[in-house]
Copies of this chain bind each other. A is one copy, B any other.
Amino acid sequence: MFDMFSQYVETSGLVGALLTTIAFLPQVVRTWRQGGEGLSYLMLALFLAGTALWLFYGIALGSLPIVLANGVTALQVLIMFALKLRGARRREEVK
């Protein structure tokens, strides 16, 4: 009985992680297309620091959903960082 409940809990966490990670994808695609001019470095840095702390928290708690969600989101944020840097360099070249 308890095992079934904790399975529901784990599944909820995993599906929640999947959904919030998928919901983040359009932002990555938009950054790819537009070069990330609309994103601030401050926001990206906050997100990156936040997901890093979440990762530590998730590992310490032994929570797979937290580790997965924040591992993937940290990767997405890093990709957006790189895209914004590339976009900024391109805009500089165009000038």
Write the residues of chain A forming the contact surface with B, with a CB cutoff of 8 angstroms. 5-6, 9, 12-13, 15-23, 26, 30, 38, 40, 43-44, 46-47, 49-54, 56-57, 60-61, 63, 65-66, 70
User: Would you call B53 and A16 a contact (CB within 8 A)?
Assistant: yes
Closest CB in chain B relative to A38 CB, distance in Å:
8
Residues of B within 8 A of A18 (CB): 50
**Chain B minimum-CB-distance residue to A46:** B23
Inter-chain CA distance A13–B59, complex, in Å, is 11
Inter-chain CA distance A38–B29, complex, in Å, is 13
User: Would you call A26 and B12 a contact (CB within 8 A)?
Assistant: no
Closest CB in chain B relative to A84 CB, distance in Å:
14
User: Would you call B60 and A61 a contact (CB within 8 A)?
Assistant: no
Residues of B within 8 A of A46 (CB): 19-20, 22-23
